[in-house]
Amino acid sequence: MAAPQPGFVLVLLVWWCAGYAAGQASEGYSAWQAPQPRLVVAPTGTFVSVLNSFMATGEAYDSLPASSLCQCRQQCFVDPRCMALSYHPGQERCYRSKYPTPNSNIPGAVYEYKVKSLTRGDDGLFYVTLDTPLIPRDRCVQMCSNMTGFHLPFAKTRVSMDYLRSFPRTFIGLTKNRATGAITWDDGTPLNRVALGLSSEPFINNGCGTDATSPSPVIFVMYNGLIDDTCTHGMCACQADFSAGNN
């Protein structure tokens, strides 16, 4: 595919910036105090735009003077290395990163990142399977967290559970407290086996959950269509809900 011509790039950026400004005005300033991730599907690609959030600048590969968010977006768009950007009007600088980074809540700032291989599941939620080798769960949690709006996959409905069954050895946001036996999703919601159509509790057969005195919880992956415990590494996928009221 031929590279976009300068005029074409300008048209896309004007369209993107105009749409962003209209959306911000329609929401009202008070609605934008906390970080609010929004999915943006544009001709230039798929992005998540997070108002009131700012990237960890130490993760940026450079920063450039920029008089506006639109100029910052242009500086990112023309550099194939740029996968995430951050801009604050008070600083008038554009920070660019090769990957989504940790970020913090700063009113008025904007953090945006590109999303690759985004799919929408049968449950209406969005999924990204990260192109990584088998990694520890903590690393997977951090990578999902860097993509504001995403987290390890939950299954709160049977449709979500059935969709996740096809994921190979992939971490899910479910743990078991060794001392109490409570099995909960990472947001604190208890596992509802009846709602998910599960006839039994998740498998604990790898010797990872036998020591009730261990401070670390039992962690789970999807394995051969079932919820199974794991002692070590797994594949990493992230889930997000960008429907109205959840983004």
**Residue 193 in domain:** yes
For residue 155, count CB atoms less than 10 angstroms from its CB and return exposed for 0-12, middle for 13-18, buried for 19 or more: buried
Q: Are residues 127 and 104 in the same domain?
A: no
Domain containing 40: what range?
6-115
- Kindly state whether residue 206 falls inside one of the protein's structural domains: yes
Domain membership of residue 1 (yes or no) is no
One domain for residues 92 and 142:
no
- Please indicate, yes or no, if residue 82 is contained in any of the structural domains: yes
Phi then psi for residue 7, to 5 deg, are -65, -40
Write out pLDDT tens, residues 87-145.
999 999 999 999 999 999 999 999 999 998 899 999 999 999 999 889 999 999 999 99
- Residue 177 located in a structural domain: yes
Instruction: Clarify whether residues 133 and 110 are in a common domain.
Output: no
CB burial string 3-36: b at 16+ within 10 A, e below = eeeeeeeeebbeebbeebeeebeeeeeeeeeebb
Mean pLDDT of all residues belonging to the chain = 84
- Based on the fold, state whether residues 133 and 105 are members of the same structural domain: no
The answer on 148 and 109 residing in a single domain is: no
- Assess contact for 173 and 154: CB atoms under 8 A: yes
Do 102 and 128 fall within a single domain? no
> Of 181 and 20, which is predicted with more confidence?
181
Residues 93 and 128 in one domain: no
pLDDT at 5: 37
- For residues 211, 191, 245, 47, the Cα torsion angle rounded to the nearest 10 degrees is 50
The CATH number of residue 197's host domain is 3.10.100.10
Same domain, 156 and 102: no
Whole-number pLDDT of residue 41: 86
**How far, in Å, are 48, 54, 150 from residue 58 at the CA level?**
21, 11, 22
The answer as to whether 245 is a domain residue is no
| Residue 247 resides in a domain | no
- Of 79, 98, 115, which residue sits at a domain end? 115
**How many structural domains comprise the chain?**
2
Domain end marker among 115, 130, 159: 115
pLDDT digits (tens, 9 = 90+) for 52-65: 999 999 999 999 99
Clarify whether residues 107 and 125 are in a common domain: no
Do 12 and 74 belong together in one domain? yes
Least confident piece of the model among 1-5, 19-23, 82-86: 1-5
Question: Does residue 152 or residue 13 have the better pLDDT?
Answer: 152
User: Above 90 in pLDDT, residue 186?
Assistant: yes
- Rounded Cα distance between 234 and 88, Å, is 37
The predicted structure's pLDDT at residue 210: 53
Domain shared by 133 and 209, yes or no? yes
Q: What is the CATH number of the domain that holds 94?
A: 3.50.4.10
pLDDT at residue 36 is higher than 60? yes
Same domain membership, residue 151 and residue 109: no
pLDDT for the residue 211: 57
- Domain's final residue, options 81, 115, 149: 115
Any domain includes 137: yes
pLDDT digit string, tens, across residues 191-238: 999 999 998 888 777 656 555 556 788 999 999 999 999 888 999 999
pTM of the model: 0.83
